[in-house]
């Protein structure tokens, strides 16, 4: 149904996609948020959550579009490609931009928890668990969309 024509992927590209998906899946598995995790563990988890999406997106786009290697180092370009592929209002397009903002805050904003949660780590954990829950559904959908292209082997 999709506009792009599905052509068999080269074994090398399939390997690259599989490698990306392994990385994405591994990052997602380690993005778990423990009930007693510290602020820094929480920051790490949310940052990994974004990169899980990042690699799964590249895997899917690599299977369907050209020049993905070029955009794999440019977050904005990747988000635009994803938005072109799925539309502006698809949850996946909004989710990756939301997670990117969260990841930037987690990696660079020293006072993020103080500003957003008044230093209440429990509130931060709760919010993050809900975000993770929302994100997981989208992630696995993206992951399986990309996986479909490997099943051609």
Among 152, 110, 150, smallest CA distance to 20 is for 150
Q: Residue 104 phi/psi, 5° resolution?
A: -60, -45
CB closer to other proteins, 19 vs 34: 34
CB closer to other proteins, 23 vs 121: 121
Name the minimum Å distance from CB 123 to other proteins.
9
> What residue ranges bind other proteins (CB under 8 A)?
1-4, 33, 35-36, 71, 77, 80-81, 83-90, 93, 122, 125-126, 128-130, 137, 141
CB closer to other proteins, 44 vs 83: 83
**Nearest-5° Cα angle at 66, 64 to 71:** 105
Name the minimum Å distance from CB 93 to other proteins.
8
Name the minimum Å distance from CB 141 to other proteins.
7
Q: What is the DSSP string of 10-65?
A: PHHHHHHHHHHHHHHHHHHHTT---TT--HHHHHHHHHHHHHHHHHHHHHHHHHH-
Rounded Cα gap, residues 35 and 26, in angstroms: 20
Among 44, 20, 18, smallest CA distance to 33 is for 44
CB closer to other proteins, 12 vs 153: 153
Name the minimum Å distance from CB 107 to other proteins.
22
Name the minimum Å distance from CB 43 to other proteins.
15
CB closer to other proteins, 51 vs 117: 117
């Amino acid at each position: 149904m999709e506009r792009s024509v599905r052509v068999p992927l080269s074994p090398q590209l399939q390997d690259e996609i599989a490698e990306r998906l392994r990385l994405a899946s591994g990052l997602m598995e380690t993005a778990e948020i423990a009930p007693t995790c510290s602020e820094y563990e929480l920051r790490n988890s949310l940052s990994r959550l974004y990169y899980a999406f990042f690699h799964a997106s590249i895997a899917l786009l690599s299977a369907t579009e050209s020049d993905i290697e070029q955009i794999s180092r440019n977050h904005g370009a990747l988000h635009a490609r994803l938005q072109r592929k799925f539309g502006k209002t698809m949850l996946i397009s909004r989710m990756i931009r939301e997670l990117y903002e969260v990841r930037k805050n987690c990696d660079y904003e020293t006072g993020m928890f103080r500003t957003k949660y008044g230093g209440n780590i429990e509130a931060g954990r709760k919010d993050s668990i809900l975000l993770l829950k929302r994100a997981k559904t989208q992630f696995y959908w993206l992951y399986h969309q990309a996986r479909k292209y490997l099943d051609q082997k």
